[in-house]
Structure 1
């Protein structure tokens, strides 16, 4: 039986979350604040922790940092949909939390039943996450360095969220009209924001192909994710909230609460948000994005990357891509927080390469450099 430690300063939230998880056959322990959570973590040794951000005595981020030092445990953040809540949640995921669930009604949410299925699915997936091993392999940093970076990033991201995104508005136009040289499609879910920090910042500003990213994440969170990654990356990183012409030097992040598809725009290509389709169980959908890319680009000019995440989103169309002459990368079990999506791609014979997350960017650079040398 999966044991879950529910951490929230609201007695109502603790009771409601506990009832939902107990109804799914899980054992539940509770804590009222971050300090008590660290104590209870050692006492009851839960399989998963659900953690609020804003709490008295000790907040969620401080508590999470201590948890990862004392007893690394999969953590699912349960956060409000505000921008402040999204910023804190993204920072928590950089610190080691594996996923997040948005409270539909704010800090004290009386309608958690709306996200009950999502909550239970993410807690179940988190129970199988390899937090300790993934954390060591992806982030060999001391706790003091992590704390300093957390403070610096929080200050920088707060200023970045208030300031206009200069890189987004000063993109140089492409030197020619028409289709891009190619497209890189990246799909990621549970554990994704942290893993993306090992991939996207390693792509240089002159990276020759546009990058399309579908990260399973709630609405209001993907804009914060895009700004966070934009502050870290040589590439421009933008959330797709309207049709945008694709161009090199840019990462296009699918907006939460919708799917993103590739579509023609005159003689060029664009990406645009589109309403979620019930045909696809996860959103923003990796499969739908990959399928639309295959409709408008030759498979040999596409690269698919499937990173950590539960389920099989993106596996089938990326396997199809490889069969049609395209190239694909599956994250290896060594670094995947949840080895679901990449495992499915490998199982379907669809992985051209199986790599730890730290080697994905180098492989992309090598492939595209080889393409250019062959075309020279």
Structure 2
């Protein structure tokens, strides 16, 4: 049984979520009405996963998450509104340690949540098995235990010193693309990948991150602030330039084409041939049609499912290079694990080494 703690100030949401997960049959459920009550329940209940509303009176979801990561780090799934403000708060939560988020119903809650139920259960089950590093907030946890107090949360996620930039090993000639796929746990993984790259990185980087459309713009803006690269969301035809990274718009697909001889990224309607969107498989497949495989590097990071494994395996078979995030660091080793299982990974590396492995491939 999966031990689930539902934290929400709405009696209706607590009841509906409890009914959904009770019907799934493999959850042991407790509920908390607010962040303070959740913090009281966690030591004794020891949940495998927590669903946590962001907006609550008193201790809000971000403050509660901050303290969970100090007293007993465990997988947390945020309950978020699909708005620009909700996206910024959710990305902040993921920087603090949340592994995923589920959408809050926007219309008739009792009607809409029934349609969301299968996805909610799937996401929370996957989160329950997510890998939370034992070093997460280790210094803060040790200090809290020594001092006997839990420090209050700041409104901004704690972040280490900006990573040192990796130097370019030499001039890289010719066109090429880096194709990145990520899903559950992807935003902080993308930060770890893009943060060390220099501003003169020679190839454009094109990213398919599974997210709703209202989240990918804020994600691009957040990564742009944290990286030396120029990072933007693809909403119209975007010529691909060195030193730039491009985030596919959510709920659509991201494809590569040539326009007047220039490599271009395009947002395309989500294809029914692919389950996840933006589809990593579709991104890589379209890139291989217009760029020689040996001039492509695929990077598959943390994520639920197997999106990207098929196309990146084909990329490797045709002379391209691929990097799969290692199981030891992936929040969910579904996507990179599927690539490794298919024999499609040229390199398997922990997240902290993926950027340097990418730079080494460019130097070959």
Counterpart for residue 15 of structure 1: 15
Instruction: Name the structure 2 match of 1:112.
Output: 113
Q: CA deviation at 1:132?
A: 3.3
1:235-256 CA-partner distances (Å, limit 9, x unpaired): 0110111111111111100111
Please point out which of 245, 253, 268 is paired with 1:274: 268
String of CA shifts for 1:2-32, please: whole Å, max 9, x gaps: 1211111101111111111112112221111
Which of 322, 330, 338 is the matching residue for 1:336?
A: 330
Shift of 1:68: 0.9
| Cross-structure match for 1:160 | none
1:93 alignment counterpart = 94
Match of 1:221 among 209, 215, 227: 215
Does residue 193 (structure 1) correspond to residue 187 (structure 2)? The answer is yes
Secondary structure (helix, strand or coil) at the match of 1:199 reads: helix
**1:142 Cα offset (Å):** 3.6
User: Which of 280, 284, 304 is matched with 1:290 structurally?
Assistant: 284
TM-score normalized with structure 2 length: 0.89
Cα distance change, pair 79–246 in 1 and its aligned pair in 2 (3 A): same
The 5-angstrom pairing of residues 56-95 of structure 1 reads 56-95=57-96
Please give the alpha-carbon distance, in whole angstroms, between the structure 1 residues aligned to 2:13 and 2:210.
24
- Residue in structure 2 matching 1:207, options 184, 189, 201: 201
Once the two structures are superposed, residues 30-88 of structure 1 have per-residue CA deviations (whole angstroms, 9 ceiling, x without a partner) of 11111111112122111111111110110001100111111111111110011111111
Task: Give the distance between the partners of 1:149 and 1:330, measured in 2 at CA.
Answer: 34
Q: Which residue does the alignment assign to 2:231?
A: 237
Q: 1:222 touches 1:256 (CA, 8 Å); kept in 2?
A: yes
Normalization by structure 1: what TM-score? 0.86
Aligned equivalents of 1:180 and 1:44: distance in 2?
A: 57
Change (3 A) 1:295 1:50: same
Return the alpha-carbon distance in structure 1 between the equivalents of residues 87 and 115 of structure 2: 19
RMSD: 2.2
Aligned twin of 2:30: 29
1:350 Cα deviation after fit: 0.7
In structure 2, the residue matched to 1:253 is: 247
Q: How many Å separate the matches in 1 of 2:153 and 2:200?
A: 27
Distance 1:307 1:294, change over 3 A: same
Deviation at 1:150, TM superposition (A): 5.7
CA–CA distance in 2 between the matches of 1:132 and 1:289?
30
Residue equivalent to 1:125: 126
- SS of equivalent to 1:208: coil
What secondary structure does 2:192 align onto? coil
1:347 to 333, 336, 341: 341
Whether the 8 Å contact between 1:307 and 1:331 is mirrored in structure 2 is yes
Q: Hey, what's the Cα distance between the residues in 1 that align with 2:308 and 2:286?
A: 12
For residue 308 of structure 2, the aligned residue among 305, 314, 321 is 314
Distance 1:150 1:348, change over 3 A: farther
**2:79 aligned counterpart, secondary structure:** strand
Q: Which runs of 5+ in 2 are unaligned?
A: 144-150, 159-172
CA change 1:273–1:109 in 2 (3 A) is farther
Q: Secondary structure at the match of 1:84?
A: helix
- Number of equivalences: 342
- SS of 2:242's equivalent in the other structure is coil
Match of 1:157 in 2: none
The Cα of 1:195 is off from its aligned counterpart by: 1.4
Query: How many Å apart are 1:104 and its aligned residue?
Result: 3.6
Cross-structure match for 1:360:
354
How much has 1:225 moved relative to structure 2? 0.5
Q: Which runs of 5+ in 1 are unaligned?
A: 155-178, 371-376
